[in-house]
Structure 1
Amino acid sequence: MSTPNTHTPDSTTRKEASAKRKTKVLIVDDEPAIREVLEMILQEWGYDVRLAADGAEAKQLVESYDPEIVISDVVMPQLSGLDLLRCLKAGNPSRPVILVTAHASIDLAVESMKQGAQDFITKPMDYPKLRAILKAAESDIQTRQTSRKLTSQLERGSGFGEFVGTSAPMREVYDLIVSLSSTDASVLITGESGTGKELAARTIHRLSKRADGPFIPVNSSAIPETLIESEVFGHEKGAFTGAVVTRPGCFELANGGTLFLDEIGEMPLPLQPKLLRVLEDGKVRRLGGKQEFEFDVRVLAATNQEPRQAIQEGRLREDLYYRLTVFTVHLPPMRDRKEDIPLLAQHFIGEFNKKHGTNVEALREDALEMLMAYSWPGNVREFRNVMERALILSKGEWIETFHLPPYLRNPGAESSSKIVLPLGITAAEAERELILKTLEKTGHNKAEAARQLGLDVKTIRNKLKTYKIED
């Protein structure tokens, strides 16, 4: 004979709630009736409750019971609620304390919040408001615990060298970097702007047998076309107007170490065959010079473009590409490693707390959700800038949604792929609007804007000069 199921939905819910660990709450009030009513209500809400009749008893219970949340009356004999608040904050600054009073005043509320109270509520008690305050306090406790777990994870090492992240795409990158560090082969590092290509190159160098030698980075897109040949090969005194002293090129400077050629796809075409010849011969001659210098250099190159597309479009020589690409390391964009965002956020909070002398604990859950929902076209570079901005704007322990940039809070307005142009606009004005809007969308990352628009970085720079906008 089967036994009828006597469990109601409410009783099942209560059993599930009791199975979870209950949040410990200490109630401090000199009125017995208030204590008992609060105890009954909070136990019904699923809290583990202890009672104290005054501040002195509360201090003893804090030692033995270690409550996670304290609800205290303000006006009590001997030790007032504000005095108790100061004592509790001295012992555990992060413990939420909620103050209650029958004599509400703005001055008292301001003073209690200044002393570190979680919130302030008046008698007669607004129980829905109290429950909301308790839920907010529990959320803070949970966020703080998560933050400390992430910080502990970072301290133990959650990445590789200066890289932060444990996602599968990044672990593949770390494994490849380790393998490449034991060889002297050329490597092409690919990835969108802001993914950390130079950091990858520096890590390969630091782990290699050349670690004690120089690491010389050269950004092909940042050097004017008229100067880049001199930068790469060096020049003798008097080789050209303005060459008042002899200057060694980057191959000589990197001798015994590593030369990093960043944005190789932006290197002027006339220079590419000369670079190829130097790489194949292992010798370099300065501009205006006759003597050739031998060098011992490992070359790492990087590009934010699709290399084969750059070859098809005639911007990168195929023979140079193959000379530089014995191995390829591809760095994933942020949108493909979103599981690393909480760890990266905590890493930057720690970094910028030290830099700016702040004490931000963590991101609020809804702020983290905003970061997780965004596509991050500027990748880690953009993410880092957003985190620094938010931390500076935050005046307390938490980064809130309103500390994030407007384009993150209202993604629909910013992520639209349409640019509306007024009637009668000229082609030049339309081009200007397109370039500036794309730069705005990419966080003023010129290399990424150039990639999205199918232009050279130099073209973007020249256009900005034409528009009289600071580069």
Structure 2
Amino acid sequence: MAQTKVLVVEDEPNARAGLAELIASWGYRTETAVDGVMGLDLVVRWSPDVVVTDLMMPRMDGLQLLDRIGELPQQKVAVVVLTAQGSIESAVDAMRMGAYDYLQKPVDPQRLKTILQNAQQQAETNEEISAVEISSEENGRLGPLVGSSPHMREIFHLIERIAPNNVSVLITGESGTGKELAARALHMFSGRRNKPFVAVNCAAIPETLIESEIFGHEKGAFTGAQERRAGCFELAEEGTLLLDEIGEMPAATQSKLLRVLEDRKLRRLGSRDEIPVNVRVIAATNKDPHQAVSSGELRGDLFYRLNVFNIQMPSLRDHKEDIPAMAEAMVQEMNDRHGMQVPGISRAVMDRFMAYSWPGNARELRNTIERAVILANGKSIDVSHLPPGFGEEQHTPPAHGAHLTQSATTFSAPANSNDFVHLSVGMTVDEAEKQLILKTLEATRNNKTRAAEILGISSKTLQNKLKEYALEDKDVLES
């Protein structure tokens, strides 16, 4: 730690001296600068590992200093910005520009110490990350992600750029496109990689339990709370927390999450005590986040707090050139998982893969390959190992008034099922939507999970729609 150099840039003399003295007491070498101009000069001449800078300064402010540091052709410097109360927007701007983290004034010493420790760990991984930037171009892989198409190269570059910084990220894309894999790559190439990665699906947790799952609870906080329980934030301490399907989180929970992101502290349910948290939060959604904000499903202030950077995962049909490499990697993955030695995939199968539209995206490809690896039992995967009828017709999500298609390997409709949704001029959009939902439930024999997948909505959204229609299970079955 004695070799780590920290530059303090602050125009107020007492604050500057106090910060430098505090940081030096933890074993760091320190230097100080009275403004951004002097700070930039010291960055060039002294080469600090970390710069702690105020935002508001004469001659050159903190954002200008951050921008100029980013232009220097030398090893990356972790920049921590100090911001006044109520200036979160400025801090978020700094994060977008490449700041490692931010602190609100008055500075919390323990929080500053933690940030400096994390920044030091990140500096130790920078060389490895630089090597990954080269190998990802050559090998078409970045952690669990595979691909060399323009879409995937762009995602790789973005992950390499933002992984080292303690910045929030919103990952968007259709179901099955690999949003969790992108989150794991962000974690893997950050200074938090040796700490926990915790993923929670907000759509899979009942509304009555989601606050407890995320924030934890004390014994007796509610009926059934027989002991204290740590939530996902505490389980992910010093690591990364992925909040998948963030748009399904109840509004009250979104409000509490926003407070935790801004204050870096939380309260367990039933507790009056605040617990400091050091967690990087990544959120993901298969919805258009702007539409979710407009419809009230996602709080606007939470969206802007999470969306410091956005990674848009492409649908598999938009980067089919990556399918051969992805399939090869998945065959190896399934060989390892099931103790098989399948050598590869036949040309006939690959031709079908390339012609198929993959409505389930990479997840559907993985499930198809897992099934084939098990059936192949050590031989190359051929057409006989694919699901019956695979690739003979395109399986696409139903459009308004379109025929409802279904995969024979997943479910089969009742013999008397009418697969058409009948629309007429004058029918409202709500009524058309209701007909589509009821017909899909009929075709799946009231399997709500499968119906939600076909409709491209979450199970929770489907349940809410049925409540809106005031339909019980028996009503659905009799429709």
After TM superposition, the score normalised by the length of structure 2 is 0.58
Tell me the SS of whatever aligns to 1:398: coil
Query: How much does 1:293 deviate?
Result: 1.1
User: What is residue 421 of structure 1 aligned with on the other side?
Assistant: 418
How many residue pairs get aligned? The number is 315
Match of 1:299 among 281, 288, 297: 281
Answer whether contact 1:266 1:457 (CA < 8 A) is retained. no
Tell me the SS of whatever aligns to 1:248: coil
| Amino acid paired to 1:274 | K
> Whole-Å Cα distance in 2 between the matches of residues 378 and 441 of structure 1?
18
Aligned: 1:383 with 2:365: yes
Superimposed CA distance per residue, residues 415-452 of structure 1 (whole angstroms, 9 cap, x where no aligned partner): 88403727999998963431465899999495x54535
> Whole-Å Cα distance in 1 between the matches of residues 459 and 226 of structure 2?
38
Q: For the structure 1 residues 454 and 286, does the alpha-carbon distance in structure 2 shift closer, same or farther, using more than 3 Å as the test?
A: closer
> Whole-Å Cα distance in 2 between the matches of residues 328 and 308 of structure 1?
12
Answer whether contact 1:210 1:256 (CA < 8 A) is retained. yes
Match of 1:433 among 427, 439, 455: 439
Match of 1:262 among 219, 229, 244: 244
Tell me the SS of whatever aligns to 1:212: coil
Greater length-normalized contact order (CA 8 Å, ≥ 6 residues apart) = 1
In the alignment, structure 2 segments of 5+ residues that lack a partner are: 1-134, 405-416, 423-430
| Amino acid paired to 1:177 | I
> Whole-Å Cα distance in 2 between the matches of residues 454 and 237 of structure 1?
31
Identical counterparts, % of pairs = 47
Match of 1:369 among 348, 351, 358: 351
Answer whether contact 1:421 1:430 (CA < 8 A) is retained. no
Q: For the structure 1 residues 184 and 422, does the alpha-carbon distance in structure 2 shift closer, same or farther, using more than 3 Å as the test?
A: closer
Answer whether contact 1:438 1:449 (CA < 8 A) is retained. no
> Whole-Å Cα distance in 1 between the matches of residues 301 and 450 of structure 2?
33
User: What is residue 456 of structure 2 aligned with on the other side?
Assistant: 451
Tell me the SS of whatever aligns to 1:363: coil
| Amino acid paired to 1:162 | P
> Whole-Å Cα distance in 2 between the matches of residues 168 and 310 of structure 1?
28
Correspondence list, 1:324-335, <5 A: 324-335=306-317
Correspondence list, 1:124-273, <5 A: 157-273=139-255
Tell me the SS of whatever aligns to 1:259: strand
Tell me the SS of whatever aligns to 1:260: strand
Q: For the structure 1 residues 440 and 340, does the alpha-carbon distance in structure 2 shift closer, same or farther, using more than 3 Å as the test?
A: farther
Answer whether contact 2:421 2:436 (CA < 8 A) is retained. no
Answer whether contact 2:248 2:297 (CA < 8 A) is retained. yes
In the alignment, structure 1 segments of 5+ residues that lack a partner are: 1-152
User: What is residue 374 of structure 2 aligned with on the other side?
Assistant: 392
User: What is residue 78 of structure 1 aligned with on the other side?
Assistant: none
Q: For the structure 1 residues 411 and 390, does the alpha-carbon distance in structure 2 shift closer, same or farther, using more than 3 Å as the test?
A: same
Superimposed CA distance per residue, residues 271-309 of structure 1 (whole angstroms, 9 cap, x where no aligned partner): 211221222122111111111111122111111111011
> Whole-Å Cα distance in 2 between the matches of residues 374 and 439 of structure 1?
27
> Whole-Å Cα distance in 2 between the matches of residues 179 and 300 of structure 1?
15
Superimposed CA distance per residue, residues 65-87 of structure 1 (whole angstroms, 9 cap, x where no aligned partner): xxxxxxxxxxxxxxxxxxxxxxx
Indicate the larger mover: 313-322 or 419-428.
419-428
| Amino acid paired to 1:433 | K
> Whole-Å Cα distance in 1 between the matches of residues 252 and 181 of structure 2?
29
Query: How much does 1:405 deviate?
Result: 1.6
Q: For the structure 1 residues 291 and 455, does the alpha-carbon distance in structure 2 shift closer, same or farther, using more than 3 Å as the test?
A: closer
| Higher Cα radius of gyration | 1
Q: For the structure 1 residues 331 and 454, does the alpha-carbon distance in structure 2 shift closer, same or farther, using more than 3 Å as the test?
A: same
Superimposed CA distance per residue, residues 17-65 of structure 1 (whole angstroms, 9 cap, x where no aligned partner): xxxxxxxxxxxxxxxxxxxxxxxxxxxxxxxxxxxxxxxxxxxxxxxxx
| Amino acid paired to 1:434 | T
